Amino acid sequence: MKLIYSLAFILMVPYSMTQDIEYLFAHGHAAGKKQFKYYKELIPLADKGLAFDCVDANNKPLYPSIIKIRPTAFGQELDIQVLTNAIQDINVPIVGIGVSKGAACWINTAAKKENINSLAALVLESPFANVNEIIHKFKFIDYLNYIPCGQFIAKKGAQKILCHYDPYGIQPIYSISKITNKNLPIFLIHSKQDKLIPINHSRRLYNKFLKNGFTNVYLIETDIGHHAGIIHTDQSKIFPKALNSFYHQFNLPYNKDIPLIDISKYQPDIAEVDKRIKQDTETFKEYIPVIIQIIIILLLAYFIGRNYLNLPKK
């Protein structure tokens, strides 16, 4: 009889594993829950995987281009609330998967105490550390960086145009210190070719996790792959291999058909990541707006001073 019970237990283990975990996908800007179909191959359990729509879901591009991002919440309060509601409807541990602003939203949401106990792991592709830095690079806003008080004007202007954006709201880089489970497994992946959200965002987030005592954080940097599209363009297929090995490492269901690899090499120390950040920082380019602002201020001071002090014209 004991042998029969033992055999029954062994046969039930795979089934029970499929019942004890869920995968919840947070989409990128203006994509919608349909984006999840491209990531289905990253879910080792065929009958699992949930997705939801945020306020900006399937927003169609219009002219001018800024209109197409008007409704987005950039992973801030409104997105957090939608994601929190989705979490509360699930009664088993969750692997949170997010892309771009969806990945940023997962970090912000994990900082909420009521959500952290629901999480088994986070899988984050191409997140931003601070959305203000991304918005300031929008074409029409970027020019404001070249004038005095331009960044202040840019924040106020973007806040008016992007109705759910708060320049002073919650940001992933600051949310990390509020996540209480320091053993939470976290998988970060970002492409070096990403132009929309540069890879240094993920590097800074990775270092922030380490500095706050997190022990199970991994940073995968791919040489190829556009923004939010590594899964389609990564010729080495490192994404599924590394993620599958990550699942295996933390006793989560994994795909036995995908080879396992050593993911310990994706845990660089803080000094190494800082070195990478410095190498990829365009120092001179970043100072151009500051230099131009100083020149403008000096010219204004000169003309104002000449008029008030009646300085002789040359």
Q: Going residue by residue through the chain (314 aa), what tens digit of pLDDT does each one get? A: 433 333 333 333 333 344 489 999 998 876 778 888 888 888 888 778 888 677 666 555 444 444 445 667 788 898 899 899 999 889 899 999 999 999 999 999 999 888 788 899 999 999 999 998 887 665 455 555 556 666 666 666 666 666 677 778 899 999 999 999 999 999 999 999 998 899 999 999 999 999 999 999 999 999 888 888 888 776 668 899 999 999 999 999 999 999 999 999 999 999 999 999 998 775 545 556 666 667 777 777 777 776 666 655 55
On whether residue 19 sits in a domain, the answer given is yes
Answer whether 89's CB lies under 8 Å from 115's CB.
Answer: no
- The pLDDT tens digits for 166-193 are 778 899 999 999 999 999 999 999 999 9
Answer whether 209's CB lies under 8 Å from 232's CB.
Answer: no
What is the tally of structural domains in the chain?
A: 1
On whether residue 46 sits in a domain, the answer given is yes
What residues have CB less than 8 Å from 163, skipping those under 6 apart?
70, 71
**CATH classification of the domain holding 85:** 3.40.50.1820
On whether residue 255 sits in a domain, the answer given is yes
Q: How many CB atoms lie within 10 A of CB 185?
A: 22
Answer whether 194's CB lies under 8 Å from 201's CB.
Answer: no
pLDDT of residue 103: 96
- The pLDDT tens digits for 96-118 are 999 999 999 999 999 988 878 88
Answer whether 98's CB lies under 8 Å from 25's CB.
Answer: yes
On whether residue 227 sits in a domain, the answer given is yes
pLDDT of residue 113: 80
H helix runs in 168-279, sequence order:
172-175, 200-211, 230-233, 238-249, 270-279
pTM: 0.78
On whether residue 155 sits in a domain, the answer given is no
pLDDT of residue 101: 92
Cα torsion 18, 24, 25, 30 to 10°: value is 150
Domain that holds residue 252: 2-130+169-281
Query: 88: part of which helix (H) or strand (E)?
Result: helix 77-88
- The pLDDT tens digits for 124-170 are 999 999 998 887 665 455 555 556 666 666 666 666 666 677 778 89
On whether residue 306 sits in a domain, the answer given is no
What residues have CB less than 8 Å from 105, skipping those under 6 apart?
26, 54, 75, 79, 80, 83, 98
On whether residue 292 sits in a domain, the answer given is no
On whether residue 290 sits in a domain, the answer given is no
Q: How long, in residues, is the chain?
A: 314
Q: E-assigned strands of 72-196? A: 94-99, 119-125, 186-191
3-state helix, strand, coil in the chain (%, to 5): 50, 10, 40
